[in-house]
Amino acid sequence: MADANRAPVSVLGLGMMGAALAGAYLKAGHRTTVWNRSAGKADALVEQGAVRADDVAAAVAAGDILVICVVDYDAMYTILDPVKDSLSGKVIVNLTSGVPEDARNAAKWADEIGAEYLDGYIMTVPPAVGLPQTLLFYGGSQATFEAHESTLKVLGGNSVFLGTDAGIASLYDLALLGILWSSLASALHGYALVGSEKVPAAALAPYAEAWITNVVLPSVKGAAQMVDAGQYGTAFSTTDLNAVGLVKLVEASKAQGIRPDLMIPIRDFLAKRVADGHGDEAIAGMIEVIKNPE
Ligand SMILES: NC(=O)c1ccc[n+]([C@@H]2O[C@H](COP(=O)([O-])OP(=O)(O)OC[C@H]3O[C@@H](n4cnc5c(N)ncnc54)[C@H](OP(=O)(O)O)[C@@H]3O)[C@@H](O)[C@H]2O)c1
């Protein structure tokens, strides 16, 4: 049952993520209007109490806040450009993934048509939408975020405004995804390495977990302090030492018959730090190589 005190929301795009977003608004008591290019995807939500919009114009008219979550920014323009004259004064919350430049261009486009714009990233999978701990990043109009914070928090209690650069949320999203992909890939390298001797991944996994908790996490936190200070002094684990370790890891991977490729750039970045005269510093200094592509 919709609560008259809650802002009416229209959700455009009812793929896996959009359907979860609409479901969260329904559950929280918002009058929720839904639209999707393939209309059948609205059926289950309409059964739960959502209002079906027969076209985009009807969805736009029904909601003060338009939440859009589609495959990419081109799809967003395909949907909203034809109705842009009716978007003045509306709040567009775009939860479609892209790159920072996509977000900045979209913010400019929204500004030109008189709409308020927030560019957001949902840092989870659809089943976790609406939970108190669920993290969403936002960039764009601070006034819009503050005015609608309680409505935005329906999608995730940990909704964070990062700044007025509309591209900032995308940057955080990509930074965290990079950490996810490289961490997982490195764990798979480890599983392949022990697997080359028929050791199951499950035998390494508990040690990997303890290693990540007790060694990797403190290193990641400590590296942030070093990076911000631009000081990489260490008393216990030098780049010299780790550069030798990476050479061994690459050679041992080859000898065990698995691909060493994932580890090769790390070996080469550390070797460059040593060659540049920073062998006695911590490996966090590798960021200087990453920041300065040749
Ligand atoms: N799923 C996740 O775990 C997750 C997590 C975080 C962020 N996201 C982001 O959320 C966004 C949506 O992802 P999803 O998982 O919901 O994808 P999905 O299930 O593949 O849904 C894609 C949506 O985009 C629509 N669409 C595609 N091309 C279109 C076009 N030309 N015109 C109009 N609508 C179009 C689809 O409509 P039809 O139904 O008509 O094809 C559908 O509603 C993506 O940017 C994704 O990166 C997803």
**Each residue's pLDDT tens digit, 181-224:** 999 999 999 999 999 999 999 999 999 999 999 999 999 999 99
175's enclosing H/E stretch is helix 168-195
Mutation test of ligand 1: which of 11, 56, 68, 71 has the most ligand atoms closer than 8 Å to its C-beta?
A: 71
Output the average pLDDT for the chain.
Answer: 97
Q: Which residues line ligand 1 (CB under 6 A)?
A: 13-18, 36-38, 41, 69-71, 75, 78-79, 96-97, 122, 125-126
In percent, how much of the chain has pLDDT > 90?
96
- pLDDT, mean of residues 85-96: 97
Decide if pLDDT at 231 tops 90. Answer: yes
- 67 CA from centroid of ligand 1 (Å): 13
Decide if pLDDT at 291 tops 90. Answer: yes
Tokens standing for residue 162: 């990062």
- 91 CA from centroid of ligand 1 (Å): 20
Cα-atom radius of gyration of the chain, to the nearest Å?
Answer: 24
DSSP state, 233? B
Confidence of residue 154 (pLDDT cuts 50, 70, 90): very high
Which residue puts its alpha carbon closest to atom 30 of ligand 1? 75
- pLDDT, mean of residues 256-268: 98
Place of tokens 């989870």: 124
Of the listed ranges 79-83, 234-238, 277-281, the least confidently predicted one is 234-238
pLDDT of 235 reads 81
For 77-107, the three-class secondary structure string (H helix, E strand, C coil) is HHHHHHHHHHCCCCEEEECCCCCHHHHHHHH
Which residue puts its alpha carbon closest to atom 31 of ligand 1? 75
Decide if pLDDT at 1 tops 80. Answer: no
Alpha helices in 1-120 (DSSP H): 16-27, 43-47, 56-62, 73-80, 100-112
**Each residue's pLDDT tens digit, 11-56:** 999 999 999 999 999 999 999 999 999 999 999 999 999 999 999 9
- 36 CA from centroid of ligand 1 (Å): 10
Which residue puts its alpha carbon closest to atom 42 of ligand 1? 15
Decide if pLDDT at 294 tops 80. Answer: no
* Angstrom distance (rounded) from CA 167 to CA 180: 20
Decide if pLDDT at 107 tops 80. Answer: yes
| Domains with residue ranges and CATH for the chain | 9-171 (3.40.50.720), 196-291 (1.10.1040.10)
pLDDT of 224 reads 97
* Angstrom distance (rounded) from CA 202 to CA 180: 20
* Angstrom distance (rounded) from CA 196 to CA 260: 13
